Amino acid sequence: MAEPKARLRVFRGTEEAGDFQTYDVETYPGMVVLDAIHDIQAKQSPDLAVRWNCKAGRCGSCSAEINGKPRLLCMTRMSAFPEGEPITVTPMRAFPIIKDLVTDVSWNFEMAKKIPPFKPRPRDADGHWRMQQMDIDRIQEFRKCIECFLCQDVCHVVRDHQKKEVFSGPRFLIHLATLDMHPLDTLDRRDMIKKDFGVGYCNITKCCTEVCPEHITITDNGIIPLKERVADDHYDPVRWLLRKFTGN
């Protein structure tokens, strides 16, 4: 008996020019979209470019858009889509296309480099660091990030307004939140979170939280507390006076 088939419309091209190509692939139970792309590479278009690594939702490499939604190709089952309707696969829209489904995400790495690293206070006299478990619990979920940049891709500030010069995007706001909320960290990053990483540009649409494959509560647990910390600092009258007279 012939295997059931699915039709995929895949973007082929570069930043300068491209078009959709249609492929039919045989499907099987448990097949994911990345399997279908590999099948196309193996049997129809060996030059189809796709970035992937682990095929287990761990490396964050296979990010793309499926029917217009940012998703990991390796964690999206073919069975999630209605039978008989074509599945459209396109590269992430927020980043320049290198070829086919592969985008240039280097802007994210430049943004990461701008964040000053963890600066812990000295150890206690007995050589240990002590922290409250509740402080650790608060930031633990942010550490699950696999840097897939799907949240960056879906954020309308990064995506539509191209505010990449002044806004770091949700992935780096939660990285800043991890550092800022860390009980051992000594560096006050609040001023740079406002000025250099543009926390004020986030208008809490929560699209980033919806697409995160690690189910990190990016907006409610990361960005909103970060906004509150920055606002407390900025509108604290004592700090305001200090800034006014010292320029710091």
CB 23 within 8 A of CB 42: no
Which of ligand SF4, ligand F3S, ligand FES, none does residue 171 bind (CB under 5 to 8 Å by kind)?
A: ligand SF4
Pairing of strands 5-13, 63-66: unpaired
Interaction pattern, residues 195-224, with ligand F3S; x per rule: CB under 6 A: -------xxxxxxx----------x---x-
- The C-alpha angle 215, 221, 227, rounded to 5 degrees, equals 135
Q: Is residue 55 near ligand FES by the rule CB under 6 A?
A: yes
Q: Is residue 98 near ligand FES by the rule CB under 6 A?
A: no
Question: Which 148-177 positions form the footprint of ligand F3S (CB under 6 A)?
Answer: 154-155, 157, 170
Residue 67, CA atoms < 13 Å, CB-side half-sphere: 10
- One-letter amino acid for residue 203 of the chain: N
Contact with ligand FES (CB under 6 A) among 6, 10, 61, 211: 61
Contact with ligand SF4 (CB under 6 A) among 193, 216, 223, 230: 216
Count of other CB atoms within 10 angstroms of residue 207: 18
CB 45 within 8 A of CB 88: no
Token couple for 169: 């995007």
How many of the chain's residues bind ligand SF4 (CB under 6 A)? 15
Question: Residue 192 CB, nearest distance to ligand F3S (Å)?
Answer: 17
Question: Residue 143 CB, nearest distance to ligand SF4 (Å)?
Answer: 10
- The C-alpha angle 140, 209, 234, rounded to 5 degrees, equals 75
Q: Is residue 57 near ligand FES by the rule CB under 6 A?
A: yes
- Residue 194 CA to residue 210 CA, distance in Å, equals 24
Query: Which range touches ligand SF4 (CB under 6 A), out of 7-15, 81-89, 159-167, 206-214?
Result: 206-214
Q: Is residue 215 near ligand FES by the rule CB under 6 A?
A: no
CA nearest neighbour of 89 among 2, 207, 6: 6
Given the rule CB under 6 A, which residues bind ligand FES?
Answer: 52-55, 57-62, 72, 74
